[in-house]
Copies of this chain bind each other. A is one copy, B any other.
Amino acid sequence: MTVTLADVAARARVSPATVSRVLNGNYPVAASTRERVLRAVDDLDYVLNGPASSLAAATSDLVGILVNDIADPFFGIMAGAAQTQIGGPGDGSGRAGGEKLAVICNTGGSPERELTYLTLLQRQRAAAVVLTGGAVEDPAHQAAIAAKLAKLADAGTRIVFCGRPPLPEGDALVAALAFDNRGGGRRLTEHLISLGHRRIGYVAGPPERTTTRHRLEGHREALRAAGAVEEGGTAEGAEAEDRLTVHGPYDRRSGYEATLELLRRAPDVTAIVAANDTVALGACAAVRDQGMRIPQDISVAGFDDLPFSVDAVPALTTVRLPLFEAGARAGRLAMGKENPPPGGIATIAAELMIRGSTAAPRG
Contacts and interface: CB of A to CB of B under 8 A. Distances in A.
Given A113-B89, A312-B313, A70 B83 contact: yes
- Majority DSSP secondary structure for residues of A touching B: helix
A117 B116 CA distance: 24
Give the number of copies in the complex: 2
A76 B124 CA distance: 24
A252 B307 contact: yes
Nearest to A251: B307
Interface string A294-307: 00000000000001
Interface string A128-139: 000000000000
Interface stretch (A93-101, A160-168, A206-214): A93-101
B71 A87 contact: no
Interface stretch (A50-58, A196-204, A332-340): A50-58
Contacts of A112: 89-90, 92
Given A103-B101, A308-B281, A80 B70 contact: yes
13 contacts: A2-B155, A47-B119, A49-B55, A50-B51, A50-B54, A51-B124, A70-B70, A79-B104, A87-B120, A101-B105, A103-B103, A104-B106, A252-B307
Interface of A: 2, 45, 47-55, 60, 62, 69-73, 75-77, 79-81, 83-84, 87, 89-94, 99, 101-106, 108, 112-113, 115-117, 119-125, 144, 151, 155, 252, 278, 281-282, 284-285, 288, 307-308, 310-313
Given A70-B80, A70-B83, A87-B105, 7 more contacts: A79-B106, A84-B108, A90-B112, A90-B119, A92-B116, A101-B103, A281-B308
